[in-house]
């Protein structure tokens, strides 16, 4: 499968990207206006969001993969398989 030419991909996905960026900006604005903002400096979730934004701004060709790994737990071969609920 051949990737879309960059100009066509931008044309096709620009409005979707714009919408998602505006959603994210709104979320960050609400967090930033919240009470006890200083208490978030040690929150790992805030750190991960900042790292993800750094990945988005980088030249990495695999941004989605890097962000998925950032928000995922490392594989642990000792994890127990969930049993079905009846």
Kindly report the three-state secondary structure assignment for every residue of 33-71. CCCCHHHHHHCHHHHHHHHHHHHHHCCCCCHHHHHHHHC
Give mean pLDDT, residues 12-29: 97
pLDDT of residue 30: 93
Distance CA 82, CA 79 (A): 9
**Would the pTM count as exceeding 0.75?**
yes
pLDDT in tens, 60-71: 999 999 999 999
């Amino acid at each position: 499968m051949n990737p879309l030419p960059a100009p066509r991909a931008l044309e096709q996905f620009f409005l979707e990207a714009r919408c998602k960026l505006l959603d994210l900006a709104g979320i960050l604005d609400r967090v930033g206006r919240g009470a006890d903002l200083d208490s978030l400096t040690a929150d790992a979730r805030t750190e991960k969001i900042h790292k993800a934004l750094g990945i988005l701004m980088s030249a990495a060709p695999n941004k989605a993969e890097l962000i998925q790994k950032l928000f995922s737990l490392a594989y642990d071969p000792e994890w127990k398989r969930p049993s079905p609920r009846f």
